[in-house]
Amino acid sequence: MSHELCDLSISEVQTYNQLFSGLHKELSDGLQGFDRKLLKKKRDLTNASTFEDLKEKHKKCTELTKDLEKCSEEYMPHLRKYEKRVKELMKTLDDDPN
């Protein structure tokens, strides 16, 4: 019975590890794609036909950047809290003499 419980716990940890690894890769890929597309938009600013067109395109780029920053600021505390909690759990395991 104890082997089965250990196997189940290990399986759960491995599942979360795979899940988070996949999410991290998707998030990283998404940020790289966002960066490339935003950089292209900023380069396209030089092709603006009028000053008003330039201002409008610049405004859109600025709004997108601010939206990403806001989204990241909302997400990061949760990620840091999760990381801190996992480290605390690891320390609990390290401190347990059994």
Kindly state the tokens that stand for 20. 């988070």
Residue with tokens 């759960």: 12
DSSP string, 2-15: HHHHHHHHHHHHHH
Q: Which domain holds residue 63?
A: 2-95
| 19-77 pLDDT, tens digit each | 999 999 999 999 999 999 999 998 988 888 999 999 999 999 999 999 999 999 999 99
Start-to-end C-alpha separation, the chain? 18
Query: Up-side HSE of residue 67: CA atoms within 13 Å toward CB?
Result: 9
The pTM of the whole model exceeds 0.95: no
Torsion angle, alpha carbons of 84, 92, 7, 22, to 10: 10
Taking a C-beta distance cutoff of 8 angstroms, is the pair 48, 57 a contact? Answer: yes
Looking at the structure of the chain, the number of domains it has is 1
